[in-house]
Structure 1
Amino acid sequence: MSRALAIVALTLSTLLWATAALQGWWVDRLAGEATRDALPVDTLVDPAALPTPPRLPWSGGEAAREWARRLVPLSGDTSEPRALLEASLRERPLYAPIWLDLAELLASSGDQEGAARSIRVARALWPERAVLQQRAAWMQVVLGPPDAALAALMDYWAIAPGDGLRTLGLARRLEPAPEALVDAAAHVWSRAPNEASVYQRGLLDLARRAGDLALAQALWARLDDKSRASEDLLFPYLQMLATQGRHAQADAVWEQALGEPPGLVNGRFEEPLVPLGPDFRPGWATPGWRYHATGDGFRIGVEGPQGDARHHSLRIDFLGTENVDLAQPSQIMRVRPGSSYRLRGYWSGEDITTRSGVFVELYTIATRPVVRAQTPPRRGSWAREPFELEIQVPEDCLLVTMRIRRVATNALDRRLSGTLRLDTLEFQPLPND
């Protein structure tokens, strides 16, 4: 029995020795030929050659690492914590956090070159561990130089785009030139595991929050036509241009990306209306109607031509059960800054109750003040007849909303009933005087 145990022990020792040797070889490869000679402690490359730490009752491992971390703030002498970390690396040379601990220790003792090398080894060992890469990047920012710090930040951002605002904020300080920062970011989105738009949105968000129009423009210049037509990139960029008073430029960007303003889409209701689902994400100016098919006290739908109308009609039925506060269907339309527009259409009413009637409204988005145009509120019954609204778009306006409104009231007859129909809606620019 004792002989069998001896054989097993010898076998395990041989396997452990072989594993340690193999791990040491991989660490040596990760460190790179260029950095091997720069390390003042060459023995770190070969775990088997590490000296035995003095006065230690254990072989190393996590216990040595933890004890080293406790000793560092207690004394200015780094020799014993360093010996503990070296002992830990002998047992676990591929455990990246130990290499970062060693880097921190070397940096505190003035060995900048050794600290930089240990950071590179740690990053190479665990390239997809976000927490490790974040710590390494932050250490490299403190250690420098700026180009190495920027590279470390970009590697972390590649696997953690959700932390982009903070990461890119640091990167912007290291590389204030917009084109150079966009170049570094483009290198990330060309090889990163996520879609390129994830990183592009992150960079644009940083530019918007910082009010850095030059950075946003540098990013925009790097995007392809498909990316420029994406709402997630186009509309934040347009908002940024509009916020800084560059409305003519915003209009030109929009036209280049999506063409001429389409006006009011599906104003004859020949195309089906698709109600908003729970996953709907309202874009800044997504063409088409926005509405919920049912609500408290009303129903919205489309029916065939009624009376002398030649086209389908939008129909809203009020059920007489609720004090309806209606603000739909609605449609957001792109407009030219400083232009005038006219909304035309036909409507009819059937037994619409309450003194708070229904009306059609136009209003500008994101302008100060908001410009509004409204029809007089209607109630009762009336045959199909035309209505018309005109609105002067301010110089700081890119969007106008058209919607059907009824304002809730405290009157006794507040429960709204009846039917409203609209058809043949058009929204067009007026000729310049």
Structure 2
Amino acid sequence: TLSQHYFLFIGTLSCHPHGVKMLEKCSVFQCLLNLCSLKNQDHLLKLTVSSLDYSRDGLARVILSKILTAATDACRLYATKHLRVLLRANVEFFNNWGIELLVTQLHDKNKTISSEALDILDEACEDKANLHALIQMKPALSHLGDKGLLLLLRFLSIPKGFSYLNERGYVAKQLEKWHKEYNSKYVDLIEEQLNEALTTYRKPIDGDNYVRRSNQRLQRPHVYLPVHLYGQLVHHKTGCHLLEVQNIVTELCHNVRTPDLDKWEEIKKLKASLWALEENVIPDILKLAKQCEVLSIRGTCVYVLGLIAKTKQGCDILKCHNWDAVRHSRKHLWPVVPDDVEQLCNELSSIPSTLSLNSESTSSRHNSESESAPSSMFIMEDDRFGSSSTSTFFLDINEDAEPAFFDRPGPIKDKNSFPFFASSKL
């Protein structure tokens, strides 16, 4: 029963140069390589994949590579998923070796494995270093369906990838396809993913109608906004100029400003224009979000406004139109004070104090306040005018993990943070 823990010992040793030398001297790595060729040893291979350290170039990566290509389907899928763990753990130089392993998995005979590798690559390309490494390899992605197409569109966000695809006439073809078909298809893709994540219905099979999941306990999928052709092109001047020459923005703005809500085709056309434009017609989007009779249009506008609020400039523009947005992400620790206010407080704290208080009275006052107030509250008392009023401030963490200050005993209008998130996650 303790044999499983031996793999943890091996993994710990593989984290240090001296430990690696010991493992090589004892031929442990060679034993693990031989283990990859044995049948019915999936549990041992999974333990091996999970335990080894891959931060250094060496036999550990060779073992991982062999399991990714030579093991059973279950082990190959497990090892492929472990690459996502390594990606999120920020393993050193992942772009130099991890991206290559993922590209190899794209050609796996098992479609589940190739699809998983494609999904991990899409996540990895959020980091420009990984995107540059992928472009350098020039993988074949067109045979992987819509997801492969969307990953290929990420190449257009940097000049190197744009030049690579433009030389092959890919950009002009995609502009034409998106204008005729893919803008509308993009709407279907997003709304299908939202339906699966937010409702109790599952995707139909073989053309059947949507059916309820009933008592089946299935994990709701996460929904991330797919890349958009126009959104990738505007990352650099060449792409912006191309969109301007094609006169695409003018037509999309016209669709938003003069919508026809009587026909489903026109409603879908409006949604496609909203996703394509996002920040270029903010007042019109705000008007639709507040007043449109078609509720699905309002929902689309809310998500689009969330995309606009991803940047400080976008939040400022929305604020000018009386639309508040969250100005921090969940990664920030206690973002309750704006930068300008915090800077002012630091400047004031550097000024020497001219007040002198009696130490005895100060001590007794401090003790009385400590006894009368909970530790989670900050008591502020203003004695300049003989006032005995006390204002109590406390920090509230709601279910969305968004902190906010509230003032008591004044009336509290709203204790929940504004429900529009400044992120690409829908």
* Structure with bigger RCO (C-alpha 8 Å, 6+ apart): 1
Greater strand proportion: 1
TM-score (norm 2): 0.36
TM-score (norm 1): 0.35
Greater C-alpha radius of gyration: 1
